[in-house]
Structures are given as C-alpha cells and as structure tokens.
Structure 1
C-alpha cells in the first residue's frame, strides 16, 4: 500500500512538471493591429455642356455633372458667374447663382460666357459654357398690366359697383388700372392677381420688383399688403395652385402672425334696423357679420360717415370666404378712447404699401415656411393681410396701383 501511494505521488509530480513544461513551450500569440488605410486626397471632376440656347426671358436649365470622391464629409460650394461690363467700361465677374443647377434667364439677346466654380475645401475646379440668348420678336413692358383675378373684401369703396358677375368686376378693374387709377381691395383677404408679359428675373442678390399701393396721407390710414408670386414653369399661361409661394416679409415668422387664416363675410340684410353704438360715429355696430376659421366672429361697424354706402360686393352672393396670412397691425387710439383719431403702424420690408415696397423673389417660401428658389415670376398676387378697424376712420384698407419689374430691359 505504501508503495502504491509513493508511486501515485511520483506520477502526479511528473505530470505536473510535464504540463508546466508544455505551457512554457507555447508562447502567447501576438495579435497585430490592422494598419490604417492611407487617407486619399479628394478628387473632383466637372462635365459641362459647351453651349446652350434660349430666348429672352426664357429659362434654360444648366445642370453639370459633378463627381466628388474621398470628400471625407466636406461639402462642396458652387458658384456661377458671368462677365458684366460696368459704367466704367471694366468687365467684372458677377455672381448669378450658388447652387449646382443654374436656371439661366436673361433680359437681352446676347451671347453670354458663363463660368462654373466648385470649391471643396482647398480643392477648386472650374468649367465654362456659352449661352446664346435669341430675340423673341415680342415687345415687353415693365408693368404687370393684365388682371387675372380680383375679389375685394368689404369696404365702403365697394358702393356703386353692383356688377352681376365676377367677370364684369374684373373687366371694370382692368379699365381702372389702364386709366392709371387705383383698384380698391378692402379689408382682410381682398386681393388682385396680375400677370407680366415676361418673366421677372430673380436677380442674384438684388430686389426684383416693386408693389405700389395708395399713398399714405395724414387724413387716411392704409394697410401694408402681403404678396404671393408664381412662376409659370410649364408655360401654359396659367398660375396653377401648386405654383404659388408667399413672400416672407419682416412679419412672417412673428408669433402674432396667423397662417392659413380664413374669414367668411355675410351679406348684410338691407331691411335690418341699424344697431347704434356707444359713440356717435357707430351708426350700425352690427352691420356686416363675419366669422373666421379660428373660432372668432363679429361684425364690421358701419360708420356714420359712410352710412349710405354699401360695403359688401354685390356680385358675390350671400357670403364668400377669403384666405391668407393674417398679420398684426399695430394701432393706437390718440383720441382719449373716443375712436376718432388713430396712429397706425407699418412693416419693415417684404410688403407693398410701405416705405420701401421693393421685393426680392428669393424671399419666397412654400406653405410650410421653407425657402424656395424660383428663376423668376410671371404672376403676382397682392392681398390685404390685416383685419383692423380704427373707429370713426372705418376699416384699415388699401388700394392697388401697380406691380413693376425693377430690372427690366426693354430691348436688345
């Protein structure tokens, strides 16, 4: 038995020694880290058609093929330029676009050398093309003289215009415009749509057209007006519903501005007894009923001064609805609460009927307030976007005079 135990211990010692020897004989494997791939320099290539053709005030899309490799997250910058000779006779590069695709449009029949530059960090590549602009044989005017649509909102200036149809009202407005007189728009939502005989170019970094309204005087108070624009992309001569965009002026993004506002106006009952108000000028404080899509409702007061006037456009049936963006217009009663004298505010930029009524087409936004890029516009809609009464002075309204292309070129 003792020999067995002695033998077993001997085997255990030998096995242990053997195993340790085996462990020592096998070195730990060495794991090599993968070598990083060398960073490749970015590459950039441009393929640009050598020449394009179009006509005056017509758009041609120039869409180069730009291939970028190994950009490593860098974003390319694009710039389109052409040579413009100034009054000093010196030709200088004028920027005409900053996106990959250029929608080229020009007012004069010439051959234009257009340069395209792509910048990717320190890498710069250039390409050039030629655009030949031909004459159309047409004569153009700087003003939008054709009235496409017209619907005034309530106001005492509607008195005497008892047309049977909307078409008659538009025909009358066209005659007023041709005579150089003013077309009344009334209060909130009253609008006019005019059409140019050419596309007003969206000039890079410049104001493009102006909207002239009634001239402000000490005796009368007028509302700034909002503006919508449409580019006739399919050239069918019609402003499609999906082609309209609003000019986002200084008030557009303010918390007091209400998007998608609607007001329904109801035709007054001529046999209804007038409901006099607290003040002498309130001839009928429940004259013309209105209701909005934002749960608000009320009445437009018929003032004593205009008590014999009909505020409601007679050709529009028993009720009609006008829509738009409602903008808050600051007013202050300066007659100790008597409602006989008011100060009325104005807006900074992006509206008609203000100190500087010039408009940049680049201010256009879609229905969600996102900026859009239009090569130009063919149609302009002007509408009253405020809904304000100022006591004895009646409603704050405005009257349309004209829309004019600021960068118009009459001939070659």
Structure 2
C-alpha cells in the first residue's frame, strides 16, 4: 500500500510538471492595428499603435522609442513635439521566447495653408556683414522691413555671410517645378553685375514659429564645383570708425572690406549684437569679379542663386531668381525631401572687396514670392 501511494504521488508530480511545461512552451505572436512598417504622424497630434496577442502564452510588453523605454501597455500612444523619424520597437517576452516588431514613425510638421499674400509677411532676422551701405539705406533695419509685402523694396546684406531670414503667412509647399522667387537687382551683360546669394530653407519642425530648426541649402549650379568651399568661416573685426573693416578666415586668408569716398559712415553694422567682431559660416562661391573690355563686372552663375543674372534661370524674362525645394541638401550634401518649408535665409556667398568705384560684392534683394500662391 505504501508503494502504491508513493507511485501515485510521483505520478501526480510528473503530471503537474508537464502541465507547467505546457504553459510556457509557446512563444507569443502579435498583430497590430497598423499594417505598414512606416506610420505617418503630425506634430502635436497623438499617434496610436495597438497590439493584439493572437497566439502564445502571456507575455510582458515593452515599447521602446529611439532606444528609450516608453511604455509597457498593450497600446502605444504618444504625442511627438518635433518633426522627424522615430524608431519604435515593440517587444513581448515570456519564458518561451521574444516577439519583436519595429515601426518607423514619420512625424511631419504642420503645413500652414491659405494665407493672404504671396509675398514675405515678416522679417525674422537681419544681420548684414560690413559694407558700404551698412547703417544707412539700404543697409539698415528700415530697409529690411521694406521688402515685406512686395517685390520692390531693397536691402543689402553686406560682404560675405551677411544674411536676412524671413517667412510668409503660410508654408511654401514643394510642388512641381520652382517654388520660390527672390527678386534682386543684377545687371545683364555686357555690364554684368551679379552679387550671388545662397538660399537656405527650413521647416518649423517644433511648431514654435521660430526659425530655430535645421537649415538646408538649396544647391545651386556651383554646389559641386571645384572652386566652391564648404564650411567656410570668416570673422570681421570692428574698427569703430569710418575705416577698412579687417577680416580673417579659416582658409588662412585675411583682408578687409574697404571704405570708399562715396559712403563715409562706419561700415561695421552698429546694430549687430556683438560690437567687437562678427562671425559668419557657410558655403563660399568662387570670385567672378574682373574686367571685360575695360568694364568692371561680377559675373553671375547658371542658376540657383539670388541677385544673379542667371542665363539658366532665365532672369532676362522672369526678372527674378527661382528656387526648387527639391534641391535642398543637408550639411553633408545629402538630398532631403521636404513637403513644405516655413523659413528662408539668404546670405552673400562671395568674398570680394571689389574696388573703390563699385564697392564690395554684397547680395541685395527686393522681395520674395511664393510661386504657387493661389494656384
């Protein structure tokens, strides 16, 4: 009898052990409320992915966003405040195994539609480099504000690096062909006088209405040219007088923005936040300053620059330089896809002192226009 009870007890232990083993031998498998690996979302709006266990035993769930644990709930819900691509990893684990699924959340900024004008609505910043017109028209704050709402104002950006940033009362959408027009005042050959400016664009990725997001250069015809210098840096030093403004760059060069007899005010911007020195960085285009048949000229490039008499841009007909958002590149030169842009920056892209008659090379613009407005 004792032997009977012993074997019965042993059998009971084995049966319970088998039941426990059966309870943890099946790994979890899940399905989801979205059927694509990339989920599109918009900043400030909730995005949700629901998980549903379709087989396997119970498992612990974890959602990981860009390497950081976000949630342990069955459903993932999050509001993203900055546009970009986010890697979201779902993990379900039990003693039998792990189930994983990765999603990419493509968070887009809000595209501001509508608007009342095709022209610039607001100047965000004006910081010119030294130049012969700085501190007087067209190189002062009033001149910068004068390009708002029209294409007939005039503001100078001074020597290399001087810039202006502006916005419209709506986003400029990336559609077929050119998207943006910038008006300048170049002269056509044979008295060719272009002062090329590079154009950069930015989206309001964080939705705060401030141009503090990533900038992208709109690559023009010279972007890949052997004479173009990327990551150029120049520093101007304030002489605190009507005097030449010295500079040094990161290429081992030095020089000066030289004064002339026609403009006798100080050439260093007196409204700059730093009254000791100014530093500008960007892409430097090769100089095109010289003489042709005894006439001083500064030749333009084929296309892709502001205030340039561009044959490839058909400036003769349009009277403006046109820009395609599809030509946006990041800091490493890689093309980026932008559905729309909210901010524009233009800066002088050549470093040449010119001469006592013509003054330094300094980009000038009269206004800008959304080429798709009302269409």
Q: Normalising by the residue count of structure 1, what TM-score does the alignment of the two structures yield?
A: 0.56
SS of the equivalent of 1:362 reads helix
- CA positional deviation for 1:200: 0.8
Does the CA contact (< 8 Å) of 2:242 and 2:259 recur in 1? Answer: no
- CA positional deviation for 1:301: 2.2
- CA positional deviation for 1:263: 1.3
**1:87-98 to 2 correspondence within 5 Å?**
none
Give the distance between the partners of 1:321 and 1:292, measured in 2 at CA.
Answer: 9
Task: Pick the aligned partner of 2:300 from 321, 340, 346.
Answer: 346
Does the CA contact (< 8 Å) of 1:264 and 1:319 recur in 2? Answer: yes
| Match of residue 230 from structure 2 | 259
**1:190-269 to 2 correspondence within 5 Å?**
190-203=162-175, 205-216=176-187, 221-241=193-213, 243-269=214-240
Based on CA coordinates, which of the two structures has the bigger radius of gyration? 1
Does the CA contact (< 8 Å) of 1:196 and 1:378 recur in 2? Answer: yes
- CA positional deviation for 1:171: 6.1
Task: Pick the aligned partner of 1:366 from 330, 354, 357.
Answer: 330
Give the distance between the partners of 2:159 and 2:41, measured in 1 at CA.
Answer: 46
Alignment deviations for residues 260-294 of structure 1 (CA, whole Å, 9 cap, x no partner): 1111111124387xxxxxxxxxxxxxx22111122
1:232 to 1:269, Cα distance in 2 relative to 1, 3 A: closer
Does the CA contact (< 8 Å) of 2:120 and 2:149 recur in 1? Answer: no
Give the distance between the partners of 2:247 and 2:158, measured in 1 at CA.
Answer: 14
Give the distance between the partners of 1:409 and 1:178, measured in 2 at CA.
Answer: 16
| Match of residue 158 from structure 1 | 134
Q: Say how many residue pairs are matched.
A: 262
Give the distance between the partners of 1:374 and 1:209, measured in 2 at CA.
Answer: 14
Task: Pick the aligned partner of 2:265 from 294, 299, 309.
Answer: 309
Does the CA contact (< 8 Å) of 1:155 and 1:311 recur in 2? Answer: yes
SS of the equivalent of 2:279 reads strand
| Match of residue 322 from structure 1 | 280
Alignment deviations for residues 46-77 of structure 1 (CA, whole Å, 9 cap, x no partner): 968xxx999xxxx9x9xxxxxxxxxxxxxxxx
Task: Pick the aligned partner of 2:155 from 183, 206, 217.
Answer: 183
Give the distance between the partners of 1:350 and 1:372, measured in 2 at CA.
Answer: 17
- CA positional deviation for 1:335: 7.0
Give the distance between the partners of 1:305 and 1:137, measured in 2 at CA.
Answer: 46
- CA positional deviation for 1:383: 0.8
| Match of residue 252 from structure 2 | 295
Does the CA contact (< 8 Å) of 1:221 and 1:396 recur in 2? Answer: no
Does the CA contact (< 8 Å) of 1:342 and 1:390 recur in 2? Answer: no
**1:370-389 to 2 correspondence within 5 Å?**
370-389=334-353
Give the distance between the partners of 1:160 and 1:255, measured in 2 at CA.
Answer: 37
Give the distance between the partners of 2:207 and 2:148, measured in 1 at CA.
Answer: 25
- CA positional deviation for 1:181: 1.9
| Structure 2 gap ranges (5+) | 1-33, 48-83, 85-111, 314-320
Give the distance between the partners of 1:271 and 1:409, measured in 2 at CA.
Answer: 48
- CA positional deviation for 1:367: 0.2
1:271 to 1:189, Cα distance in 2 relative to 1, 3 A: closer
Give the distance between the partners of 2:270 and 2:197, measured in 1 at CA.
Answer: 24
Q: Normalising by the residue count of structure 2, what TM-score does the alignment of the two structures yield?
A: 0.61
Structure 1 ranges of 4+ moved more than 3 A: 136-139, 169-172, 175-180, 217-220
Does the CA contact (< 8 Å) of 2:192 and 2:300 recur in 1? Answer: no
Does the CA contact (< 8 Å) of 1:362 and 1:373 recur in 2? Answer: yes
Does the CA contact (< 8 Å) of 1:177 and 1:183 recur in 2? Answer: no
Give the distance between the partners of 1:137 and 1:231, measured in 2 at CA.
Answer: 14
Give the distance between the partners of 1:268 and 1:196, measured in 2 at CA.
Answer: 37
SS of the equivalent of 1:173 reads helix
Alignment deviations for residues 90-149 of structure 1 (CA, whole Å, 9 cap, x no partner): xxxxxxxxxxxxx9xxxxxxxxxxxxxxxxxxxxxxxxxxxxxxxx99643211221001
- CA positional deviation for 1:345: 1.2
- CA positional deviation for 1:258: 0.8
Give the distance between the partners of 1:387 and 1:137, measured in 2 at CA.
Answer: 38
**Aligned CA-pair RMSD:** 3.5
